[in-house]
A = this chain, B = another copy of it.
Amino acid sequence: MDVNPISMKRVYQSVIEQFIGLLGSGQIKSGDRLPPERILAEKFKVSRASIREAFRAMEVIGIIDVRAGGGSYVTDLNIVPFITTIAPLFWRTVSREEDLLDFRRLLETEAARLAAARGNPEHIDRLEDAVQQMRVSLRQANLEMGEEADIRFHKLLFLCSENEILIKAGECVSCLLENSVRLGRARIMKTAAQAEILLEQHEQILDRIRQGDSQQAALAMEDHLAFVRQTLQRKD
């Protein structure tokens, strides 16, 4: 006998599904304020507790933002809270931070390759801004500012790749690395001498992207990451 198993869907799951559906059909969108829990409970004909359980799940998923006393708001799919929550677990499961750095190299070289291939002028201008800020911060010996520009450069690079998945994956890895102890220490290790080298490397990556040379852009990124990694390891 071949029958379909009865799906014992729980109330909160059905609620989530409906919200996902509403998001998909555009009936609700990022920034919208959701009705109060009590009203929703009435509309869905379920208890407020069930609505709240659905909200907790959607909060972890990263599609709503619930503010005590201020209502609930739809947000863009945001994986940061999720990653932050599981990060401590992650460092138990994943023994080798090495793996994460390898993975980042993979993502960023591909991002550089795609950025060069796509060559969107608007995006490249924003990369230029970030590099410019690095130059300024080097002159002013403002390490913090340089740090910020560095992070921005790498984030922008993912945007330049124009591959949505790559962008999201990049966010995940950055988020995980920020939760890493070693990277935390790494920030402080940036000296003025290193800042100069880093600036040159970023300039080179940018130049090659501007020239539309995928192969060379990827190689420049590879060199840059190898340098960063080597620096981190030497200080251990």
A86 touching B61, Cβ below 8 Å: yes
Residues of B within 8 A of A103 (CB): 163, 165-166, 169
Residue A121 lies at the interface, judged by CB distance under 8 Å to chain B: no
Residues of B within 8 A of A57 (CB): 56-57, 59-60, 85
> How many copies of this kind of chain does the complex include?
2
Residues of B within 8 A of A92 (CB): 23-24
Alpha-carbon gap, A68 to B8, bound state (A): 9
Task: For A77, give its contact among B21, B86, B169 (CB under 8 Å).
Answer: B86
Alpha-carbon gap, A173 to B172, bound state (A): 14
Tell me the dominant secondary structure on chain A's binding face.
Answer: helix
Residues of B within 8 A of A107 (CB): 106
Residue A49 lies at the interface, judged by CB distance under 8 Å to chain B: yes
Alpha-carbon gap, A166 to B21, bound state (A): 31
Task: For A85, give its contact among B20, B52, B89, B166 (CB under 8 Å).
Answer: B20
> Nearest Cβ distance between residue A104 and chain B, in whole angstroms?
9
A23 touching B89, Cβ below 8 Å: yes
How many chain A residues touch B (CB < 8 A): the figure is 44
> Nearest Cβ distance between residue A102 and chain B, in whole angstroms?
6
Alpha-carbon gap, A88 to B90, bound state (A): 26
A63 touching B77, Cβ below 8 Å: no
A61-81 near B? 1/0 per residue, CB < 8 Å: 101000010000000010000
- 11 A-B pairs with C-beta separation under 8 A: A8-B68, A49-B52, A56-B56, A60-B61, A63-B86, A95-B164, A99-B163, A99-B164, A99-B165, A99-B166, A103-B163
Residues of B within 8 A of A59 (CB): 57
Residues of B within 8 A of A49 (CB): 49, 52
Smallest CB-CB separation from A114: which chain B residue?
B102
Residue A110 lies at the interface, judged by CB distance under 8 Å to chain B: yes
Smallest CB-CB separation from A8: which chain B residue?
B68
Residues of B within 8 A of A23 (CB): 89, 92
Interface centre among A8, A23, A57, A90, by most chain B C-beta atoms within 10 angstroms, is A57
Alpha-carbon gap, A12 to B57, bound state (A): 11
Smallest CB-CB separation from A94: which chain B residue?
B164
List 5 tightest A-B contacts by C-beta distance, closest first.
A103-B165, A94-B164, A53-B56, A57-B60, A99-B163
Residues of B within 8 A of A54 (CB): 56
